[in-house]
């Protein structure tokens, strides 16, 4: 697509690629056995960049596909903010060569900043990748 480009995230595995096909096959069995209910709130899909459908079969199909397809972070972020989201909290192990959580950095900080650099009302961004960042983030929201 003209004017479009991808943003490569540094990850510690071949996540969201065809190298995950075997894991996706095994996950499909788990999904098929799982009892899904109609969501009571909107949940974004990494696979579509939009909200999950309201039916169990559609949600299961999206969850399966997201293991082997690229994550549409940019579309997800814009969809969330367009839907009224004013705060983004990244929960994850972070990236970095160190073994401990203290040696890791947030994975999404760069893409969040890049996505909203010209946005009128960018969301607040918090990364929770270890106990210290969890405590700091919780402090931003009061008691």
Query: Do 67 and 88 share a structural domain?
Result: no
d(CA 52, CA 23): 21
d(CA 114, CA 89): 16
Quick one: tokens of 124? 């607040």
Task: Name the domain count of the chain.
Answer: 2
Query: Do 61 and 30 share a structural domain?
Result: yes
How high is the pLDDT of residue 125? 94
Query: Do 93 and 130 share a structural domain?
Result: yes
Residue 4 belongs to some domain of the structure:
no
Query: Do 96 and 54 share a structural domain?
Result: no
* pLDDT (tens digit per residue) in 124-133: 999 998 888 8
Q: Are 45 and 52 in contact (CB under 8 A)?
A: yes
- Supply the DSSP symbol for 88: E
Residue entry with tokens 């969330």: 80
Query: Do 89 and 66 share a structural domain?
Result: no
Query: Do 134 and 88 share a structural domain?
Result: yes
Q: Are 43 and 76 in contact (CB under 8 A)?
A: no
Residue 79 belongs to some domain of the structure:
no
Confidence of residue 26 (pLDDT cuts 50, 70, 90): very high
Residue 2 belongs to some domain of the structure:
no
Query: How many residues in the chain?
Result: 143
Average pLDDT over residues 4-14: 64
* pLDDT (tens digit per residue) in 49-98: 999 999 999 999 999 999 999 889 899 999 999 999 999 999 987 887 77
Residue 1 belongs to some domain of the structure:
no
How high is the pLDDT of residue 130? 84
Domain, as residue range, for 23: 12-71
């Amino acid at each position: 697509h003209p004017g479009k480009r991808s943003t490569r995230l540094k990850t510690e595995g071949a996540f969201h690629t065809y190298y995950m096909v075997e894991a996706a096959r095994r996950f499909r069995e788990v999904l098929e056995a799982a009892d899904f209910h109609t969501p009571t709130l909107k949940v974004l899909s990494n696979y579509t960049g939009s909200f999950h459908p309201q039916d169990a079969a559609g949600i299961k199909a999206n969850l399966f596909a997201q293991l082997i397809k690229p994550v549409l972070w940019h579309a997800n972020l814009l969809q969330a903010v367009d839907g009224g989201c004013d705060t983004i909290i990244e929960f994850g192990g972070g990236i970095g060569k160190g073994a401990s959580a203290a040696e890791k950095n947030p994975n999404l900080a760069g893409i969040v900043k890049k996505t909203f650099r010209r946005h009128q009302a960018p969301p607040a961004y918090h990364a929770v990748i270890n106990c210290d960042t969890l405590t700091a983030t919780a402090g931003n929201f009061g008691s």
